[in-house]
Homo-oligomer: A and B are copies of this chain.
């Protein structure tokens, strides 16, 4: 029995090592920056508190002071060292001086903005490689809005149609490759606020192996290396499990209505936990 239990534990560890190598903290956007700052406080705490060395990547944002804004916030929340990466173009990612704040970071924070900018400028570059290395070494990696979606292996991108309020049809949403810090998991944000559940259910039609995390605004998922997820913040996390889905995706043409059956939905409030190994909520 003891050996069996140990075997099971090792197997679970191996599995979750693939899922998440350091702690991750995707945030659903619009996190509180003026009140109790529950989400950002937790980020600083998990990055090491007063000993945290935080690297901010504001590349997705079009606001030139976004990096400085988070720098001030993280200082205010007690982090001694905060650096901002100046990455505007793809070639910036090969400049060792630019990469410096990442090299010894205990927490990496990717701001919101244009998800496409993160793909164009950072995916596949030394900055992404360095983020992966830091995650492998145990650093916390977090991000908000577009900065949350980019953390997953896959992320949704609107296709032909307006995705928030449309019948699920083939082609209304497609997948783009993200940083891949978590396998088989797709992260969506502003979730209840923008009515995005339909586009994820449509995505399952062609992707029955995925589990999707739908993060509401001012709400985060803290995912530890053992594959356990905890909800933090003021709204909810919706988890969609596509692993039992059947669909007619590959028989349909672009624009045709999809049939997608047997998706499972869990809505979790703050403090709730979900086991990404067993795909089950804990203690509900």
Contacts and interface: CB of A to CB of B under 8 A. Distances in A.
Size category, A interface: 35 or more
A201 B191 CA distance: 14
Contacts of A197: 195, 197-198
A284 B248 CA distance: 8
Given A165-B194, A192-B166, A267 B236 contact: no
B266 A261 contact: yes
A264 interface: yes
Interface in A47-97: none
A273 to B, nearest CB: 11
A272 to B, nearest CB: 5
Nearest to A194: B165
Given A168-B192, A198-B195, A258 B236 contact: yes
B262 A236 contact: no
Nearest to A168: B267
Contact of A268 (B234, B259, B267): B259
Given A236-B258, A248-B284, A265 B201 contact: yes
Contact of A267 (B219, B234, B259, B281): B259
A195 B167 CA distance: 10
A262 B261 contact: no
Contact of A260 (B167, B257, B266): B266
A166 B260 CA distance: 24
